[in-house]
Structure 1
Amino acid sequence: MSDQSAFAQLVEQDLAVIHRRRDAHAPPREAVEEAVIRACDWLLQRQQEDGHWVGELEGDSILETEYVLLLHFLGKADPEKVRRLCAYVLNHWQGPDGGMPIYPGGPSDVSASVKAYFACKLARIPPDDPRMERLRECILRMGGVTRCNTFTKLYLSIFGQYDWEGVPTIPPEIVLAPRWAYFNIYEMSSWSRAILVPLAIINACRPRRPVPPECAIDELFVGGRHGRHLRLPWDSRPVTWRNAFLLADRVLKVYDRSPVKPLRRRALKLAEQWLLERQRGSGGLGAIFPAMVHAIMAFKCLGYPDDHPAIQHELRELHRFEIEEDGETRLQPCVSPVWDTALALNALLDAGVPASDAAISKGVDWLLGVQTSAPGDWAVKAPGLEPGGWFFEYANEFYPDVDDTVMVLMALYKAACPQGEPWTSAPPRVRAAMERGLNWVLGMQNRDGGWASFDRNNDRMVFQYMPYADHNAMLDPSTADITARVLECLSFYGIGAEDPRVRRALGYLKREQEEDGSWFGRWGVNYL
């Protein structure tokens, strides 16, 4: 028996067990059908006039706290708005130990907690407020400010609450590295790239926005701020990638202090152009909160006035992330209309809503209108591949992703071929979109057989040892969940196990399976 046959047999056995257990505890069929009808009605009532769906996308407390810091950076910190933002953080995110987790019910995170404490002090919440006392005690138990990640230390340095010398250097010269170089910005994940390019500008300019003494956070340094060793510790083993990068950081700091930087002006100009180019066809840089905030700060460092179109564009898009409710303000990290519309259409069609229903037709038309038609950053690793993917948000032309694209492709197939016809029988406009999307997905397969989210072959693991890689998301490698969804999509388009691309993907999934039989999921439920 071949490995593939044995694998299929194991899957069938597991499914049989699941079905037996399900049938033993299944609710009455009528109750299930009634629930499905009510769920469909609920969805249909929430379709937007132009055909799309969009729900709230939740994030963690750093959204509100970093927004407070941005407002202070710009000198636009309306006290009432800051109060509402901090009220949401304290009322909804503070955990039982006093700290701030980065997901509901999770352990306290020192970086999120420090930013929350600083934001609350900027909101003039007294340090002897019981919530602040609990938060401060938790931060000190976790090691204090020096245990924060690089991005948090950079924020604090801007406001004079940390020493720039203790922040790992992000040199703007990284944008000058040619694309064939081992270390270049296109070897990082797309979201890291969109964050690090503006941060490199900020790091080079080292802006300062002093805060009043009563807003300082010296009390969050274990043993006091003065005399603390602020740099990242060396690895205990002498020869490691971490130590190599830390040594390079020391060299870069000497370069930063030098009056002669022959490449700095050119690097800053290229980084500026890179940011401006990626505003085209986007709802802000990367259409996501952290990159947009950093872009605004970077433009200010470059001397842009507040009313400059580049800054106003980012601010308008950030404002759309705000949700005001019950005297509080919270933010979304981005918006998800393409993903939500694809999910809604798949759910409605699977539930039996006819493909001819006007709601389905409107949803399909909306999706066809937001398919990408221009190359983005992904084209650096996939030259010659025709654009055809879909992004997550309303506008993000440079960053379509495989996951959204396959969800859209499945929705288009179910809507255009409701009787299981070949996809080539779809109406011409839909068929053309399907073909472009399918070819783009197939062209984004990685050399290991799997698929990632935004880029191809973005897997140079050495990048995770960089001093500013402590957000644990420097790379965009293949993942089991996206690869599995691609295979599900391909099955609708008649591409099965006999296809060499599918065989490579199945091989990848077999290699990635955990010992307990599950798979690690990065983009949704974990584990799978």
Structure 2
Amino acid sequence: MTKWDQKIDWLINRLKQDQSSDGSWAYPFDTGTTTDAYMIILLRTLAVQEDQLIRGLAQRILSKQSDNGAWKLFADEENGGNLSATVEAYYALLASGFVKKDDPRLVSAKKFILEHGGIQNTSMFTKIMLAITGKYKWPAFSPFPVEMILLPAACPINLYQFSIFGRANLIPIMILASRKFSMKMKNSPDLSDLFSARHPGHSWPENRDLLDWIGEELKKISEFPERLHASALDRAKKYMLARIEPDGTFYSYFSATFLMIFALLSLGHFKNGPIIQNAVKGLLSMATVIDGLPHMQYTTANVWNTALISYAMQNAGVPKEDETVAAANRYLLSRQHNRSGDWKIHNPHGAPGGWGFSDINTINPDVDDTTAALRALIREAAGGTQTREAWKRGVNWTVSMQNRDGGWAAFEKNVHGKWLKLIPVEKAEYLLGDPSSADLTGRTLEFLGNYTNLENRHPAMEEGADWLIRHQRKDGSWYGRWGICYLYGTWAASTGLAASGIPASRPALKRAAGWIQSVQNHDGGWGESCRSDIHQTYIPLGHSTLTHTAWALDTLIAVSEKPTVEMEHGITWLLSNLEKQDWTTAYPVGQGMAGTFYIHYHSYRYIFPLLALGNYRRKYS
């Protein structure tokens, strides 16, 4: 057995060992310390007795503090740390009751906070959390009028022109802001000394923005504005309650559930009532353990992990009859959606058949998870009637979600209005919109081109390829919305174009390969900084990561008829570093709420090297 085969077998065996009893993989969805901090604050505010968990979360938060007192979203973050994350961590540690204000670690954190503008310079979402818990004053007017929920879907500007992800967070915020609700915990810590007098900084946006104007105009045309307001609150409440998942969470999202709990409290629900108690239990169920300490996941990633792993293993030669693969595919089939969600509003003729991201997700499918699950099921679908029908439903749903511009988005169809830039929210076009993206369009084309019988001349294929070619950057790269960042987008777009029949000699793929080669590190690997997302331009990490290297290699494999020198150099680095453990193996390579939190997928270090090595061996051996 060659070293190459040994490394592939090592990856496969490691994945087999980590499979859960239900057939899924529950690798952590690691988003840093923000959710840990919010969970402490929530539990203390509701007086939920979870001292052991709170102590563990506090220990984890402290373990992530930098020497300068700050907390970071990623290792090479600018300014020495992240102000919002540091304020959240400071608040949570005090709220836990296990760390005192004169603790040197908190003294150091306070110094960082004040030097960087104080609480008033934090992000809007941090301010909202502080306002909810009585640490920050709500604005004089609501920048998010709840009356907007009454606008019909046919109206050019309405809540259904936001992404489902943005809508799930915005609706409870609208309720809370309209009622200026706050609820202090017992023995609430004093944060007044975190306001900086030297740096007045930014407060709430006090200018009248588009949403506020819409709310005021609705009130003017209403004969009974108070009744209109009450009706809007009632509809917002019903929207949330109708989308609670079986585990009690709102769409399986931590932030949306956190906000929903307080929104329901503001509307008169009791904290000991069943809806709020079940929501808290649902959040508690998303706890995982990393390096011996608890972490509150933003959501679970079981479906995503399982679909990618099942496919990567089969691609590397594991037969579909292998019990690991068979159990994984049984799990995936059990998680296919059978009822419609909000996606139906802009896709009225589509039938359910997609997959969601998390373990408990029944009405919020997305295109990327769906094609990932379908890749895993393709071999089984070829031989089994039941699986074949499920596979067809998934393919049909995927095709039906193509945007009119030719691309694919994550959750919605044709939700990408330019007017979103008028809303006073950081990166509103990414948080509240769901436009076509290079990663979703590329991965969808790769699936359709390699695993279905759609011809390259099919309109869906041609329009998708045209979208990608139109959106390629001058340097040959593409921006990836859900990964870091240009390496991710270029990998997805290149493999998608190749699968759609675009020859490697075409300028788009030649430029893509040239760009990939131009950003290769001297050691043979690739690595990209999360700062690429913030500055919207490629910024090298200065170190190679397993995942970025695998994406870059898979790009070159897709567009090269024979191995290249750059490819061989990258393969050598990958084979030599598969088992390493250092800060680069924990570096985030996924992004969620653009510029606000980044994701370390613990599964990626195994999945994508296995995929690249499997593709190399199949194509060139």
Q: Is the pair's TM-score, using the shorter chain for normalization, greater than 0.5?
A: yes
* Aligned with 1:304 (options 269, 282, 285): 269
Tell me the distance in 1 between the aligned counterparts of 2:141 and 2:36. Answer: 23
Q: Please name the residue that 2:464 is paired with.
A: 505
Q: Please name the residue that 1:435 is paired with.
A: 392
Q: Please name the residue that 2:35 is paired with.
A: 63
* Aligned with 2:61 (options 76, 89, 92): 89
Whether the aligned pair in 2 keeps the contact of 1:283 and 1:395 (CA below 8 Å) is no
TM-score by length of 2: 0.72
Between stretches 314-323 and 367-376, larger displacement belongs to 314-323
Q: 1:415 to 1:32 in 2, by over 3 A?
A: farther
Between stretches 283-292 and 446-455, larger displacement belongs to 283-292
Whether the aligned pair in 2 keeps the contact of 1:98 and 1:135 (CA below 8 Å) is yes
Within-5 A mapping of 1:75-474: 75-76=47-48, 78-92=50-64, 94-107=65-78, 108-124=81-97, 125-165=99-139, 168-210=142-184, 215-223=189-197, 230-232=203-205, 244-245=209-210, 248=213, 261-281=226-246, 284-324=249-289, 328-417=293-382, 426-469=383-426, 473-474=431-432
Q: Does 1:478 align with 2:436?
A: yes
For residue 227 of structure 2, give the secondary structure of its aligned residue in structure 1. Answer: coil
TM-score by length of 1: 0.84
Between stretches 488-497 and 40-49, larger displacement belongs to 40-49
Q: 1:283 to 1:452 in 2, by over 3 A?
A: farther
How far has the Cα of 1:80 moved from its partner? 4.9
Tell me the distance in 1 between the aligned counterparts of 2:444 and 2:127. Answer: 39
Tell me the distance in 2 between the aligned counterparts of 1:82 and 1:202. Answer: 26
Whether the aligned pair in 1 keeps the contact of 2:209 and 2:424 (CA below 8 Å) is no
Tell me the distance in 2 between the aligned counterparts of 1:146 and 1:251. Answer: 27
> Which amino acid letter does the alignment assign opposite residue 525 of structure 1?
I
Q: Does 1:43 align with 2:21?
A: no
Q: 1:352 to 1:326 in 2, by over 3 A?
A: closer
For residue 330 of structure 1, give the secondary structure of its aligned residue in structure 2. Answer: strand
Tell me the distance in 2 between the aligned counterparts of 1:316 and 1:98. Answer: 32
For residue 399 of structure 1, give the secondary structure of its aligned residue in structure 2. Answer: coil
Q: Give the superposed CA RMSD.
A: 2.7
> Which amino acid letter does the alignment assign opposite residue 404 of structure 2?
R
Tell me the distance in 2 between the aligned counterparts of 1:164 and 1:496. Answer: 56
Q: 1:461 to 1:207 in 2, by over 3 A?
A: same
Between stretches 460-469 and 494-503, larger displacement belongs to 460-469
Q: 1:441 to 1:221 in 2, by over 3 A?
A: same
Q: 1:247 to 1:369 in 2, by over 3 A?
A: closer
Whether the aligned pair in 2 keeps the contact of 1:355 and 1:416 (CA below 8 Å) is no
Q: 1:478 to 1:95 in 2, by over 3 A?
A: farther
For residue 128 of structure 1, give the secondary structure of its aligned residue in structure 2. Answer: coil
Tell me the distance in 1 between the aligned counterparts of 2:49 and 2:247. Answer: 26
Tell me the distance in 2 between the aligned counterparts of 1:283 and 1:495. Answer: 40
How far has the Cα of 1:360 moved from its partner? 2.1
Q: 1:73 to 1:32 in 2, by over 3 A?
A: same
> Which amino acid letter does the alignment assign opposite residue 345 of structure 2?
V
How far has the Cα of 1:487 moved from its partner? 0.7
- Per-residue CA distance 1:239-273 (angstroms, 9 max, x = gap): xxxx6438739969x99xxx962312111111111
> Which amino acid letter does the alignment assign opposite residue 430 of structure 1?
T
How far has the Cα of 1:293 moved from its partner? 0.9
Whether the aligned pair in 1 keeps the contact of 2:72 and 2:82 (CA below 8 Å) is yes
Whether the aligned pair in 1 keeps the contact of 2:144 and 2:211 (CA below 8 Å) is no
Q: Please name the residue that 1:487 is paired with.
A: 445
Tell me the distance in 2 between the aligned counterparts of 1:77 and 1:222. Answer: 34
How far has the Cα of 1:228 moved from its partner? 8.6
How far has the Cα of 1:219 moved from its partner? 1.8
Q: 1:246 to 1:177 in 2, by over 3 A?
A: closer
Q: 1:517 to 1:260 in 2, by over 3 A?
A: closer
> Which amino acid letter does the alignment assign opposite residue 391 of structure 2?
M
Unaligned runs of 5+ in 2: 488-621
- Per-residue CA distance 1:210-257 (angstroms, 9 max, x = gap): 3678821122212189x99843266xxxxxxxx6438739969x99xx
Whether the aligned pair in 1 keeps the contact of 2:415 and 2:433 (CA below 8 Å) is yes
For residue 74 of structure 2, give the secondary structure of its aligned residue in structure 1. Answer: coil
Between the aligned residues of both structures, percent identity stands at: 31
Q: 1:500 to 1:169 in 2, by over 3 A?
A: same
Q: 1:497 to 1:229 in 2, by over 3 A?
A: closer
Q: 1:141 to 1:245 in 2, by over 3 A?
A: farther
Whether the aligned pair in 2 keeps the contact of 1:166 and 1:232 (CA below 8 Å) is no
How far has the Cα of 1:397 moved from its partner? 1.9
Whether the aligned pair in 2 keeps the contact of 1:360 and 1:415 (CA below 8 Å) is no
How far has the Cα of 1:481 moved from its partner? 0.8
Tell me the distance in 1 between the aligned counterparts of 2:51 and 2:331. Answer: 40
Whether the aligned pair in 1 keeps the contact of 2:374 and 2:391 (CA below 8 Å) is yes
Tell me the distance in 2 between the aligned counterparts of 1:229 and 1:487. Answer: 43
Whether the aligned pair in 1 keeps the contact of 2:60 and 2:294 (CA below 8 Å) is yes
For residue 164 of structure 1, give the secondary structure of its aligned residue in structure 2. Answer: coil
Q: 1:169 to 1:353 in 2, by over 3 A?
A: same
For residue 329 of structure 1, give the secondary structure of its aligned residue in structure 2. Answer: strand
- Per-residue CA distance 1:352-379 (angstroms, 9 max, x = gap): 1112223322222221121111110100
Whether the aligned pair in 1 keeps the contact of 2:66 and 2:72 (CA below 8 Å) is yes
How far has the Cα of 1:280 moved from its partner? 4.7
Tell me the distance in 1 between the aligned counterparts of 2:22 and 2:343. Answer: 29
